[in-house]
Amino acid sequence: MKFATKTIHAGVSPDPSTGAVMTPIYQTSTYAQDGAGNHKGFEYARTQNPTRNVLQNNLAALENGNYGICFSSGLAATSAVVQMLSSGDEIIASDDLYGGTYRQFVRVFGRFGIKAKFVDMTNLENVSQAISENTKLIWVETPTNPTLNIVDIAAICDIARAKGIKTCVDNTFASPYLQTPLDLGADIVLHSATKYLNGHSDVIHGAIVVKDKAIADELYFLQNAVGAVPAPQDCFLVLRGIKTLHLRVQRACENAEKVAEFLLTHDKIDKVYYPAFKSHKGHEIAKKQMRMFGAMVSFSLKTDTFEAANQVLRKVEYFTCAESLGGVESLIGHPATMTHASIPKEQRHKNGITDSFLRLSVGVEDVEDLIADLKQALDSL
Ligand SMILES: *Cc1c(COP(=O)(O)O)cnc(C)c1O
């Protein structure tokens, strides 16, 4: 089955009891048993839910894995992966990680004796050097947020496999339409389904997909034992969103490419960050491991002040100033004061996140409207 068919059909078939074409929302906490222990595969809804099962099977197919495991948020999925580790184990992660993942590794799991080391993964040597006998997990995010660095997934997985270390790729920014890390050697792929998978900015949801049965069994155990499960209504909404994943992401990437090209030509712009550009440091790797270059575009202004950035934010009409990404609507954010405010200024600037740095999540509106909107905002500077 090809990707566009999978989004609609994989794991989904008419409901066996009624023939309902769309997967019903099984809004129940428990299931009738025909005598003690004699049930239809469903006992209690933390453990199993039919709406969730359909979504899990659909996600497994999209990521070319065998097992999907869903959670109440992307960070709940992240914590399940780390809960597979024990005190004394180490994680190596990208140094420009999603802020919530960084916070969880350091401030939550640090308390339980799990140590995280953060390295620039665009240089593979840094990863090899950080490995110790306690390293159990390598955590990759690519493209990274918000400077859109690209990490070579296959190369990292080779390094990890040679040492018996598992690799988890946070595939939120790419979505499985653009990139399937399990095909590149990753053991675990993780999503904040809040973003592209759901795609309509109306659900918080997380997902994991794996190939290996032993890893899946451990994650199903944690899903039930820790209990951060998603509600059936949210599973339904993510399933509905996925039916148009390929259409949305394709259009958003096409729009992003045109927006990025426009920004390059505007005289108020200093730098544009977008992996489709040959000048982008990760361009060749992105070309190798991604189908298109994504719909996130970042840029900085020649007038490198918060006031200039804020003026652009206030002037745009179709780009809503908000956190998050991956919805049908275009968003704009100012990482220095929003998503990355907790990073010390010096470190932020070193990573390129200067005071005028802005991040776009390009949506699926008409691209001429999007470009005209950015143009009037930039012209006002
Ligand atoms: C949003 C996000 C998360 C966290 O997901 P939630 O659904 O908000 O818990 C993790 N990783 C990345 C890359 C994200 O963008």
- Residue by residue, DSSP assigns 1-48 as --HHHHHHHTT----TTT--SSPP----SB---SSTT--SS-SBTTT-
pLDDT at 241: 98
Decide whether any atom of ligand 1 lies within 6 Å of the 175 Cβ. no
**Where do the DSSP E strands lie in 249-368?**
269-273, 296-301, 320-321, 331-333, 358-361
For residue 380, give both structure tokens. 């006002």
Task: Calculate the CA dihedral of residues 260, 266, 271, 272 and round it to 10 degrees.
Answer: 0
> ∠ CA(270), CA(358), CA(338), 5° rounding?
145
For residue 128, give both structure tokens. 């090899």
Domains along the chain with CATH numbers: 3-242 (3.40.640.10), 245-379 (3.90.1150.10)
pLDDT at 78: 98
pLDDT at 210: 99
For residue 46, give both structure tokens. 């933390």
DSSP string covering 216-274: HHHHHHHHHHH--PPPHHHHHHHHHHHTTHHHHHHHHHHHHHHHHHHHHH-TTEEEEE-
Q: If you measure from the C-alpha of residue 206 to the centroid of ligand 1, how many angstroms do you get, rounded to a whole number? A: 8
Mutate to test the pocket of ligand 1, among 98, 108, 198 (most ligand atoms within 8 A of CB): 98
Q: If you measure from the C-alpha of residue 263 to the centroid of ligand 1, how many angstroms do you get, rounded to a whole number? A: 27
For residue 1, give both structure tokens. 């089955």
In a 3-state reduction of DSSP, which class is residue 374?
helix
The span from the CA of 153 to the CA of 348, in Å, is 25
Decide whether any atom of ligand 1 lies within 6 Å of the 299 Cβ. no
- Based on its alpha-carbon atoms, the radius of gyration of the chain, rounded to whole angstroms, reads 21
Decide whether any atom of ligand 1 lies within 6 Å of the 101 Cβ. yes
For residue 19, give both structure tokens. 């023939």
Active-site residue list: 46, 98, 170, 195
pLDDT at 107: 94
Residue closest via CA to ligand 1's atom 1 equals 192
pLDDT in tens, the chain (381 residues): 999 999 999 999 999 889 999 999 999 999 999 998 899 999 999 999 999 999 999 999 999 999 999 999 999 999 999 999 999 999 999 988 898 999 999 999 999 999 999 999 999 999 999 999 999 999 999 999 899 999 999 999 999 999 999 999 999 999 999 999 999 999 999 999 999 999 999 999 999 999 999 999 999 999 999 999 999 999 999 999 999 999 999 999 999 999 999 999 999 999 999 999 999 999 999 999 999 999 999 999 999 999 999 999 999 999 999 999 999 999 999 999 988 887 778 878 888 899 999 999 999 999 999 999 999 999 999
pLDDT at 104: 96
Decide whether any atom of ligand 1 lies within 6 Å of the 172 Cβ. yes
Decide whether any atom of ligand 1 lies within 6 Å of the 192 Cβ. yes
